[in-house]
Amino acid sequence: MKLRSFIAVEIPAEIQCTILGNTASLQKTLAKPLVRWVEAQNLHLTLKFLGDISPEALEQLNGALKVEIINQRSFNMSVAGLGMFPNPQRPRIIWIGLEAPSALATLQHSVDSVATRMGYTPEERPFSAHLTIGRVGQSVTQADRMKISAAIKTMTIGNLGMFHVEAICIFKSDLRPGGPVYTPLYTLPLRPL
């Protein structure tokens, strides 16, 4: 049996609620089918998407990651800003920004290096720290895209808080009709500050 899996930083519940509170009006304005919004409890910072992987391979990956990140220190991360990928003319992903020290990029690089050594495809795109809060619908028109872009451009999201990153997790993702359910399988602590 294979498990759809990814490696991520969990976002504290209070930050998830703050994001939801600050984007509720946008979510109402850009409801389905324009945008599929991520449930607040599913907000996370993906470090590496693994795809379908066996439980044995996940256990091996967990062991290799423990060794790799044992000396990496915990750090603080701020949540602020709102944007779109790949650009305002063709929005596909709506995101909330994250501001973190270089320790986050180092951590993501370590995770990707371990996964690559174990046979997973290395990440080709540069790492961009963000929380995906919405995905633009597949069947939207160009007029819909302009509406989405305009709504996001008129909204300002300032500082939504700060949190301490103490660990990373390996999650499994169960795709269900009501949306995905993420379950942490392994937690890998970072060194305390």
What's the CA gap between 46 and 5, in Å, rounded? Answer: 11
Structural domains of the chain, ranges and CATH numbers in brackets: 3-189 (3.90.1140.10)
Encode pLDDT of 34-61 as tens digits: 999 999 999 999 999 999 999 999 999 9
Residues ≥6 apart with Cβ < 8 Å to 185: 3, 5, 58, 62, 169, 170, 171, 172
pLDDT at position 1: 87
Q: Are 120 and 85 in contact (CB under 8 A)?
A: no
Encode pLDDT of 81-124 as tens digits: 999 999 999 999 999 999 999 999 999 999 999 999 999 999 88
